[in-house]
Structures are given as C-alpha cells and as structure tokens.
Amino acid sequence: MRRVVVTGMGAVTPIGNNVKEYLDGLQNGKSGANLITKFDATNFKTQFACEVEGLNVEEFIDKKEVRRLDEYSVFAIISADEAIADAGISVKEIDPLKIGVIVGSGIGGLRSLEKEIEEFATGNGMPRYNPFMIPKMISDIAAGQISINHGFMGVNYATVSACATSTHALMNAFDYIRIGRADVIVTGGAEAAVTKTGVGGFNAMKALSTRNDDFKTASRPFDVDRDGFVLGEGAGVLVLEELEHAKKRGAKIYAEVVGCGATADAYHITAPHPEGIGATNVMREALADAKLNPEDLQYVNVHGTSTPLGDIAETKAIKQVFGPHAYNLNISSTKSMTGHLLGAAGAIEAIACILSINHGFIPPTINHFTDDPEIDAKLNLTFNEAQEREVTAALSNTFGFGGHNSSAIFKKFVG
C-alpha cells in the first residue's frame, strides 16, 4: 500500500469563504447561523440557517457559466479551485490520466429542481423546462465540471450517502491512490439545500431546530436543550496525493491520511442505533486500517449534529472504542459553528482536523449552556472556547440517514 498525503485544501463555509477565513472562524468560535435570506421563510417552522455569506461568485466563475450551474456546483468549483491552486497541480506537469476527481453531494441541485417544478406548476402545464435543468440537478455534475475545468482525465464520479457522502468520497480517493490507480485525486463534497424544499422537508421530519428566537445559539451539540440541527451549506475539497509523487514535485504536505472506515447501522432510516453500534464499528475499523491504537489519537471531530438521540449514541460509541483514553481526548462538534452541511460535512470537518494538526488547537463546541445527564460530563467536549493542544492524530466521524457511517483518520506528517 502506498502512503497518501493531503497537499491542498479549499473551503466555502458559513463561517469563512476560504480556508484562511474558515480557520479564523474555528479558532474564534464563530456562529454561522442567521435568518434565511434565500427565500421568504416567514411561514416555516424554522426561519434560520447557516448560509454562505459575502461570496461574490462572479469573482471566481464567469457570469454566463454561473447560470448553467446549481449553487452546490458553484460552491464545489470555487473550493476545488482553491485546493488545486494550493496544491499546485496541473496537467502541464502531471499525466491527466493520473489525476481524478471524486466529489459528492448528498442532495445535489435541489434549488434548480424546485425552481423548475414551481415554474411548471404555474405555467398552465406547458413543459417548458430549462435545457440545463438535468445537469444542474444531478449530484455528479460538480465532479464532472471540476475535471472539465482543469483537464483531469482520471477516475471521475460522485458519492451519495447522505451526510456521510464526502467522507466516503475521501475514503474512495484514499483507496484509489494507495493501490496505485491514481497519483492525485481532488475529493470532497458540496451542498446547497437551504431552499423551501430542503427546510420544509427537514421540518416535516422534525430534524431541524426551531429556536427562531435565539438562532445564533440554536446548534447546541450535547446540550440538554438541543432540539435539532441547523441546516448549513457550502463545500470542502482536499487534494490527496501519493507521498513520493508529492515529494518529487516539492509539494507542501498538510497531513497524512492513514485510515478510513465504513459501516452500516442496519437499524433505522433516520435514527442511530441507541447504543452507537455502527459508530463503534466504524471507528474501530478506521483505527485498524490506520494501524493505530486508541491512545495514539488526541482529537475526535464528532458527527455531533445537535439532535436528541445522535449526540448520546456517539458519545457512548467513543467510550466503547477508546476506553479510559476517552477522557484524555478532546472531542468537539464544529457543526455548532457551521451548521450541518449534509453531504459536505465530512469534507469541511476533515479540513478542521487537518487545521487542528497544523495549528495546535482544538475547535470548540460552542453554544453549550446546560449539561445533559445522559452524556458523560467527564468527557472533554471542548465547550465554548478553542483549546491549545498539540495534535498528532485526529479522527473525523460522519453518519448519514440510512445508517451510513464513515470515519477518517489524519496524522501529522513525518517524513
């Protein structure tokens, strides 16, 4: 097996529109929650979300091209361009057949589909659909567009596994490179589901917080008064590269990807197993793949969505996997700041882990007010403020509706 490293990163998030801004938001415990601006949410149970703010799309993508893309693809392209520039990869220097793109989306172009259906419903039944409706809507088009823009001709597809999507994408990229089928893969995820359909659908499931009177603190992982997740949007993209390939071209190396895991709860379409069995299994699988002991890790970036059942189950799983060392870990949910980016969550949280390794800090779990008696108070859940800590290995969890579990482990690179 060949070794795989991270040589580039890009991010568009509700707390920063590039990696530098995202790092600043994580270090300062910034809340990305605000009232929804993308549509009139007056009649919705939830009237707030974590939207991307202040992003001038036309600085990055031609205005004509933007009209042919759903917003999730826009976020993906901007993040990918940042990561690719950061890594310094180009088909002028690398065989394009050895550069792939695996970028997923849990929902895809929901706004584009919603708009076309609304216009059809109010247009006397005339089927006058936009010719770009299908390519705007489908979940694989961001990966395709990135490859087209940069001339990357290697493996190219999207993963779709709800909120586990982009960690599964990263895992697939990791495997492709370490078995020798690619040298470089651009990987991650993007989502733009802050729409009437997205908010209304998740409201119908009772999955979203309805704390309209205090939306800034609505994402409250592990707090006894948590009442659901806050919907987020954006994208995260990483450039994964075979170690010797990266060294030969003098690339900077942010971290090494050392292990991944994927399991299923086989329990319920939306609820986690109450004892966290699937989460326990996936973290153990990732540790075994990485050939690491639980004691080798310092930080776990949890799925931690701020839902009543999920947060309890995940802390139980961490105690099962890490045993006594669980109390030496820093644990945090960056969704308390960014909201839940669904299919993009794994990618931006992987970047959070890598930033933690490179900058010696633990991002906080903000908005904590009252302990939950069902969650072990002895666990260090890094409440409210970032903490300084040397991190040599960090694990990121993402779990999706359908019982999809994925974990990835990143390690400080040692030559």
Sign of CA dihedral 6, 7, 13, 16: positive
**Architecture label for domain 4-248:** 3-Layer(aba) Sandwich (3.40)
Question: What distance in Å separates the CA atoms of residue 300 and residue 395, rounded to the nearest whole number?
Answer: 5
Question: What distance in Å separates the CA atoms of residue 285 and residue 290, rounded to the nearest whole number?
Answer: 9
Number of other CB atoms surrounding residue 84 within 10 Å: 23
Q: What are the extents of the domains in the chain?
A: 4-248, 261-411
Close Cβ partners of 56 (under 8 Å, ≥ 6 residues apart): none
Residue-level pLDDT, tens digit, the chain, 415 residues: 899 999 999 999 999 999 999 999 999 999 999 999 999 999 999 999 999 999 999 999 999 999 999 999 999 999 999 999 999 999 999 999 999 999 999 999 999 999 999 988 888 777 888 999 999 999 999 999 999 999 999 999 999 999 999 999 999 999 999 999 999 999 999 999 999 999 999 999 999 999 999 999 999 999 999 999 999 999 999 999 999 999 999 999 999 999 999 999 999 999 999 999 999 999 999 999 999 999 999 999 999 999 999 999 999 999 999 999 999 999 999 999 999 999 999 999 999 999 999 999 999 999 999 999 999 999 999 999 999 999 999 999 999 999 999 999 999 998 7
In which region does residue 250 sit, left (phi positive, over 0), alpha (psi from -120 to 50) or beta (all else)? left
What is the DSSP secondary-structure string of 101-130?
A: EEEE-SS-SHHHHHHHHHHHHTTTT-----
Question: What distance in Å separates the CA atoms of residue 253 and residue 256, rounded to the nearest whole number?
Answer: 8
> In sequence order, what E strands does 312-354 have?
330-332
Q: Is 126 exposed, middle or buried (0-12, 13-18, 19+ CB in 10 A)?
A: exposed
Q: What residues act catalytically?
A: 163, 303, 340
Q: How far apart are the first and last CA of the chain?
A: 17
If we measure between CA atoms, which residue out of 71, 305, 83, 86 comes closest to residue 190?
71
What pTM did the predictor assign?
0.97
4-248 and 261-411: identical CATH topology: yes
Question: What distance in Å separates the CA atoms of residue 80 and residue 213, rounded to the nearest whole number?
Answer: 36
If we measure between CA atoms, which residue out of 254, 281, 283 comes closest to residue 358?
254
Between strands 48-49 and 299-301, the pairing is: unpaired
Q: What is the pLDDT of residue 153?
A: 98
CB 376 within 8 A of CB 138: no
Number of other CB atoms surrounding residue 378 within 10 Å: 9
Question: What distance in Å separates the CA atoms of residue 294 and residue 325, rounded to the nearest whole number?
Answer: 7
Question: What distance in Å separates the CA atoms of residue 324 and residue 402, rounded to the nearest whole number?
Answer: 31
- Residue 112: what are its φ and ψ, rounded to 5°? -65, -45
User: Which pair of structure tokens corresponds to residue 33?
Assistant: 């929650």
Question: What distance in Å separates the CA atoms of residue 407 and residue 253, rounded to the nearest whole number?
Answer: 21
Domain covering 261-411 assigned CATH 3.40.47.10 in the classification: yes
Cα 49 to Cα 198, 268, 385, distances in angstroms: 11, 26, 22
User: Which pair of structure tokens corresponds to residue 165?
Assistant: 């999507």
At 4, which helix (H) or strand (E)? Answer: strand 4-12
CB 387 within 8 A of CB 275: no
